[in-house]
Structure 1
Amino acid sequence: MRSDHEIRTAFILASGPFTGGPLWDRVGEKLREAGAEVHAATLTGTGGGTAPAGGTGLETHIADVVRLIDGVTAPKVVLVGHDYAIHPVLGAAQHRVERVTRIVYLDSGLPQDGDLPLALVPDTDVQALLREQPDATVPAPAPDQWQRWGNTTGLSPADLERLSSLAAPQPGRTLTEPLRLTGALKDVPTSGILCTASGFTIEAVQQLVTSGMPQFQSLAEPGVGFFELATGHWPMLSRPDELATTLLRAAAGEGHRLTPANITPFHERPFLLDAPVAARERTGRLDLHLPDPADDDGPRPAILFVHGGPLPRDMVPEPRDWPLYVGYARLAASQGVIGAVVAHRLHATSDYPTAAADIAEALRVLRADPRVDADRIALWTFSGGGLLMSDHLAAPPPWLRCVAATYPVLAPLTGWIGVDPRFAPAAVLPKAGRLPVVLTRVGLEAPEIAATVTAFLAAADECGAALELVDVPHAMHGFDVHDPTDETREAVRHALSAVLTHLHA
């Protein structure tokens, strides 16, 4: 029997790159049987749609979705964005925010203002092509190539053939134009549907929220619900009936609610050690925390602290102002070493090259400062910044005395699409020679992050790297603001002492 709620609801369904409305045939049929109005989007230039005109880009697809919203007769509109299509869905929703009652993220990313859809493209060949030729057209995948665009669990050979038969080349500018968000959607309820064959689960999202990192806290708001589908990236083909049922539940406001982090936000927590205030200077992206000038005995060694990420572009305060990184820099200054913090631009997983360039420039500026001993520099990374060690391990300059990593992520995690292959610390570690590495490992790490550390340690053992391991068995990710215990305080002192030893060697 049809309920009033279902009769009053319209679904606009938009799928990932290359594909269009026909991909949703079975899902649309089930939703209509339940009494819903259904509009399956075929965006300009995608499968089954009109040939792309010159200049077809993300804004073209946003306009396509706006037209679909304007054609809805039901009073309630639920927008469903799968993969790439979450970008035009969000862009259109903010133009018709008064009509949209819910946005469903179907196995998609969480793009922010200014993000390029290209950041979520897993095919590195396509990334390289569009970085060089932003207007190029991307050929649709052959049946045996779809795994380069997402997990194909649940798809038979016939499904993959059908997927290719329904696909069309993707206009490059749809992936290289930035998404512009105004904040108009902040009060629109959302749902997330996770396809767990890719490895991302509600439990994993909960861990991100529990970590206290500010960019994930909105996922625990009351208007956000989560669902899981035990299948791959194309549930409209592999699990159409289950997907339709899940969409109806999402439209009704159901879904698993995450538990908010019952702690002070990460960026507001004090550093676990008392470090004397040090004079601070800011030049562009680089902050210097300086030792007491009364102890001046010539140029000083320096440690460049590299914060984690990816983090939102508009984060306030920015990481270099967090007590965590200010605390480390002041602690270094208290030991007679210049503590430097770089404000790098790691805002999406595709931003590692940009962040690496920011770090390289910060090191250049740091070494050019007359108060700095340019031949005694250490690099210290945290969390997702751990991948940024790669360039320095692959080709360590003679002035780099040491690299350090605290609760690092040392390989791309599930859902980290678009990471440049050069950021692979374990793979390049054999090139580091005898460059000392000080790694702080926490015992209560998230399993997926812990696996990257284990792989790095195995690579270090195999190549005989000069690695010093600081183990903190009872500590969690972010312990230096989470867990002020004797064990964690000693771990920070131990790591700093090791870095200082290499700087003064």
Structure 2
Amino acid sequence: MTPFVLVAGARLGAWAWDEVAAELRAAGHEAHALTLSGLAEKQGVPAGQQTHVQDIVAEVERLDLRDVVLVGHSYAGIPVGQAAERIGERLARVVFVDSNVPVDGESFLSGWPSDHVREEIAAHNGFWPSAGADHYAGQGLTDEQIARIVAGQTPHPGATLTEPAVLKGPIAELPATYITCLLDGEDPMDAVAEALKSDHWELVEMDTGHWPMFSQPRELARVLRESVARP
């Protein structure tokens, strides 16, 4: 039995993992989906990026988890990667699901054309606003799945996207699996490509879009289970 801590990307909460968590539990594992501060049922809680890192570390410590697999999707790869470093020997593996990865001194918005995001945050009182249904098109999602995401999402605290990551060592030194979702583009970001050169990292491809917890929850759960067996 392996404990998994599941953290969804921007605008999403623990609810995004319902189907994946059920699959993991059915296979005999622990699944702890976590809502980060300022999102979903935690709206109104002030949050910067380091708040989110501490959310994850605190959850691992509160549950006294050992040999834990931390799973970060999209934006959540940034705080999850930092938390993975900070929990030390409690970590078994970190899994990045089509995500950004932390680079010391750089933010989520570093390394890709993101001026429009900064402008949206400035125009919406410090929050990245919720997205419309068209944002989720072409990603292997049904109309019903898109409607579920649109209904459940909440504006994302902007400071978590603009504040820099803090790492003591290279992210490539952590035992990691990187899941790339092919409908979202085959070329990983530069920081991911560099980390994948490490013997500690492995690459897994999924033939779906950027939100596999909705489009292919059973397949994603299988990949997560198989990551446990990695050296």
Runs of 4+ with deviation above 6 angstroms: 120-123
Out of 216, 232, 239, the position equivalent to 2:216 is 239
Partner of 1:169: 155
Structure 1, 91-100 or 233-242: larger mean CA deviation:
91-100
Partner of 1:180: 166
Q: CA deviation at 1:85?
A: 0.2
- Structure-2 separation of matches of 1:123 and 1:221: 28
Q: Is the CA contact (8 Å cut-off) linking 1:104 and 1:191 kept in structure 2?
A: yes
Partner of 2:206: 229
Q: Is the CA contact (8 Å cut-off) linking 2:101 and 2:192 kept in structure 1?
A: no
Q: Is the CA contact (8 Å cut-off) linking 1:136 and 1:172 kept in structure 2?
A: yes
1:142 aligns with 2:132: yes
- Structure-2 separation of matches of 1:161 and 1:122: 27
Q: Which has the higher relative contact order, 1 or 2, with Cα contacts under 8 A spaced 6 or more apart?
A: 2
CA change 1:118–1:252 in 2 (3 A) is: same
CA change 1:232–1:218 in 2 (3 A) is: closer
Unpaired runs of 5+ residues, structure 2, are none
- Structure-2 separation of matches of 1:53 and 1:16: 17
- Structure-1 separation of matches of 2:151 and 2:145: 10
Give the number of the structure whose alpha-carbon radius of gyration is greater.
1
Q: Is the CA contact (8 Å cut-off) linking 1:198 and 1:232 kept in structure 2?
A: yes
What secondary structure does 2:196 align onto? helix
Amino acid at match of 2:204: F
What is the correspondence of 1:191-210 to structure 2 with a 5 Å cutoff?
191-200=177-186
Out of 68, 86, 98, the position equivalent to 1:77 is 68
Q: Under a length normalisation based on structure 2, what TM-score does the superposition of the two structures give?
A: 0.89
- Structure-2 separation of matches of 1:181 and 1:86: 13
CA change 1:232–1:215 in 2 (3 A) is: closer
Q: Under a length normalisation based on structure 1, what TM-score does the superposition of the two structures give?
A: 0.43
Q: Is the CA contact (8 Å cut-off) linking 1:137 and 1:169 kept in structure 2?
A: yes
Partner of 1:11: 4
- Structure-2 separation of matches of 1:118 and 1:163: 22
- Structure-1 separation of matches of 2:134 and 2:123: 25
Cα shift readout 1:322-348 (whole Å, capped 9, x = no counterpart):
xxxxxxxxxxxxxxxxxxxxxxxxxxx
Partner of 2:105: 114
Cα shift readout 1:61-120 (whole Å, capped 9, x = no counterpart):
111111111133553111111110011112222221221111111101233111111236
Q: Is the CA contact (8 Å cut-off) linking 1:37 and 1:74 kept in structure 2?
A: no
Partner of 1:36: 29
What is the correspondence of 1:39-50 to structure 2 with a 5 Å cutoff?
39-47=32-40, 49-50=41-42
Partner of 1:416: none
Out of 94, 109, 112, the position equivalent to 2:85 is 94
What secondary structure does 1:80 align onto? strand
- Structure-2 separation of matches of 1:86 and 1:119: 14
- Structure-1 separation of matches of 2:192 and 2:117: 28
Partner of 1:488: none
1:52 aligns with 2:29: no
- Structure-2 separation of matches of 1:215 and 1:84: 13
CA change 1:38–1:172 in 2 (3 A) is: same
- Structure-1 separation of matches of 2:79 and 2:48: 10
What is the correspondence of 1:193-342 to structure 2 with a 5 Å cutoff?
193-200=179-186, 216=193, 218-253=195-230
- Structure-1 separation of matches of 2:53 and 2:118: 22
- Structure-1 separation of matches of 2:111 and 2:155: 17
CA change 1:183–1:133 in 2 (3 A) is: farther
Out of 61, 66, 74, the position equivalent to 2:57 is 66
**What's the C-alpha RMSD, in Å, of the aligned pairs?**
2.6
Partner of 1:356: none
Structure 1, 69-78 or 173-182: larger mean CA deviation:
69-78
Partner of 1:20: 13
Q: CA deviation at 1:165?
A: 1.5
- Structure-1 separation of matches of 2:167 and 2:125: 22
Q: CA deviation at 1:168?
A: 0.8
What's the % identity of the aligned pairs?
Answer: 35
Q: Is the CA contact (8 Å cut-off) linking 2:85 and 2:174 kept in structure 1?
A: no
- Structure-2 separation of matches of 1:62 and 1:76: 18
What secondary structure does 2:9 align onto? coil
Q: Is the CA contact (8 Å cut-off) linking 1:115 and 1:179 kept in structure 2?
A: yes
Q: Is the CA contact (8 Å cut-off) linking 1:44 and 1:61 kept in structure 2?
A: yes
Aligned length: 231
Cα shift readout 1:119-147 (whole Å, capped 9, x = no counterpart):
367765323234x5796112211223335
Q: Is the CA contact (8 Å cut-off) linking 2:98 and 2:210 kept in structure 1?
A: yes
- Structure-2 separation of matches of 1:51 and 1:153: 27
Partner of 1:282: none
What secondary structure does 1:191 align onto? strand
Cα shift readout 1:414-471 (whole Å, capped 9, x = no counterpart):
xxxxxxxxxxxxxxxxxxxxxxxxxxxxxxxxxxxxxxxxxxxxxxxxxxxxxxxxxx
Q: CA deviation at 1:162?
A: 0.3
